[in-house]
Amino acid sequence: MAKRPQLSNNFALKKCSRRACTAKDRISQLPDDILVHILSFLSVKEAADTSVLSKRWLPLWRYVPRLDFDATKQLGEVAVHEKLQKRYMKKYVRWVNRTLRMCKAQRLDLFRVRFDLNELAQHDIDKWLEFAFSRQVQRLELDLLEGGERIQASDYCYTFPAQLLGLNHCAGQPQSNNVHKLPPLWYNFKSVKVLLFKSVHVTGEVLEFFLHNCPFVEEMVVHGSGTLVNLEVVGPSLKLKHLEIWFCLGLKSLKICDTNIVTLRTSSAHKLLLSNVPMLIEVDVGGHPFRHILDTIMPRGSCILSQLEVLKIHAYGGLEYLEHYKFPQLAKLKKFVVEVLAKEDMSVLGCTHVIGAAPQLKEFELKLLWVDPSRSERECRKAVRCPLHHLKVLRLSGYYGRTSEVELVRVAPDEILRNFAKLQLQGEVPPHIELVIL
């Protein structure tokens, strides 16, 4: 039987190339709606790049209902050369403006702006918002953090245009008698489900407008607003499930009552008023000593703590206060996270009082942010070991080998204790030796 001749590599490649050229483009034969849906998973730039494939693809990206203008990756160069900030801002604004002029989508699932923008882009961002609302946007995100990371200085933040909602005053200005004039885009606001404002000046009146006039709003996030003074989230008709108010330094009061909110995150715990929130199961609070935080989320006669499944506390200090605080039974608590500034050999045994009050606790995390780390030679204090049958995870960030850290671990169940000991000793053992703790 004659041997089959072997094809050279070049010949084989040419043959495969001819087959590829003659193969049918089955993807392009799909209906427009399906192709646009596929493109919606790409970034704006990637979707636009598909227009070079063929005439069939040329107009499709213009109908994509997700406009994600995330360009934070470019900000690394700006961080090194601050003089480039204005140049990059102008380039970014031109890109968004050009894209919106070509966009033909009638509805928007997402409109996201993520770049280092400030008051210098006020006029352009105002126009972007008008465009997004005119397309009945569902998820609106203005993420204008300086360098993509830090909160903008308050004097330079972009200000949300209250007049766009028919509120006839600017942020910080007195209200007129005709505050509730019907805005030109009234019916287009009703589709909003998610609102995110970072480094954006926004007032409580603007946020309450969305809460009470947009029946589908489930998530609201505000970071770094210098004009947010008072906010009331009140009423069983509200659909809001998640509220996040963080680093709004001018906030005087945050009232949340008679609503079905599920998760809450705020750095203004001492200005928080909670009442009749039966669906609330996750609270993330911070910014002040533990005493103020706990007195806020556990007022007299309140059962808020007893219904929580997740509790996260970020405090500047006062961790030792937990040792003297009488906690109620945290019957449903499954996750407890503490982030605190750590000084010298500060005791962390106060955490065990929370742990001991939570028989269903599965996960405990302690994050120590060091100010002045130091070790002491004092003896370990004895504490009652917590009989936790469900605890599976113990995380300790910022471990420094202090006596107080060893004290904490000694009250944990044996299995957790062994895992922590392994973590503590692993770095001291040469890599060719296997560490086994029995």
- Contacts of residue 228, Cβ cutoff 8 Å, sequence gap at least 6: 202, 203, 204, 207, 222, 245, 248, 250, 251
Of 276, 278, 279, which is closest to residue 262 (Cα–Cα)?
Answer: 279
**Contact yes or no for 277/299 (Cβ under 8 A):** no
Ramachandran quadrant class, 204 (left: phi over 0; alpha: psi -120 to 50; beta: rest): alpha
| pLDDT of 83 | 76
The C-alpha atoms of residue 428 and residue 438 are separated, in whole angstroms, by: 18
Q: How far apart are CA 103 and CA 89, in angstroms?
A: 21
Beta carbons of 315 and 337 less than 8 angstroms apart? no
**Which pLDDT value is given to residue 339?**
87
Sequence-distant (6+) residues with CB within 8 A of 430 are none
Which pTM does this prediction carry? 0.79
Say if residue 336 is exposed, middle or buried (CB neighbours under 10 Å; 0-12, 13-18, 19+): buried
Question: Number of C-alpha atoms within 13 angstroms, CB side, residue 138?
Answer: 8
Strand-pairing partners, residue 394, are: 364
Q: Do 272 and 304 contact (CB within 8 A), yes or no?
A: no
d(CA 275, CA 256): 7
Secondary structure (DSSP) of 72-128: GGGHHHHHH-GGGHHHHHHHHHHHHHHHHHH---SS-SEEEEES---GGGHHHHHHH
Query: Mean pLDDT, 10 residues at a time, over the chain (438 residues)?
Result: 47 47 60 68 70 63 86 76 82 94 92 94 96 95 86 90 78 45 71 97 96 95 96 95 95 94 90 90 83 64 80 78 76 90 72 81 85 66 66 77 65 55 57 52
The CB density around residue 235, as the number of other CB atoms within 10 Å, is 13
User: What is the rounded CA–CA span in Å between residue 329 and residue 332?
Assistant: 9
| Alpha-carbon span 88 to 308, nearest angstrom | 45
Task: Tell the burial category of 276 from Cβ atoms under 10 Å away from its Cβ (0-12, 13-18, 19+).
Answer: middle
Position 133 scores a pLDDT of 94
